[in-house]
Amino acid sequence: MSEEMSVDKLVSIFIKMRDARDEIKREADDKIKDIEAQMNTVNQKLLDLLGDQGADSIKTPHGTVYRTVKSRYWTNDWESLYDFIAESDAFDLLEKRIHQSNMKQFLEENPALMPKGINVDSEYQVVVRRSK
């Protein structure tokens, strides 16, 4: 009986701590969003100033502002991209990582098919659900 009470007390403490952490995160996220909105306004004004002056950088007593180009790439046609990568032998265009949940499902469905060179790190974790 005392062991159950001990577990119950630990669960209660865990939930209170998790709730407190989550509240702090929410408050911090709200503050960060406000600051980021203000920074975006200043960022746009700086971009406009650099553009108006035809400059890529401006040095001030407080610091130097630079204008750079940031590019992102994506596809809506993965099949064509895979074909292109294979035809061009350009496999370095892809990131080297394993889709965790798909690999887990594959290994569960095919326990005899372990890919060569694959590493697995499994550990127990505690999950606490609040009572209704």
Q: Give the model confidence (pLDDT) of 59-115 as tens digits.
A: 999 999 999 999 999 999 999 999 999 999 999 999 999 999 999 999 999 999 999
Taking a C-beta distance cutoff of 8 angstroms, is the pair 102, 109 a contact?
no
- End-to-end CA separation in angstroms for the chain: 22
The region that residue 89 occupies, defined by phi over 0 for left and psi between -120 and 50 for alpha, beta otherwise, is left
15 Cβ neighbours under 8 A, 6+ residues apart = 128, 130
- pTM of the predicted structure, to 2 decimals: 0.65
Give the C-alpha separation, 46 to 54, whole Å.
12
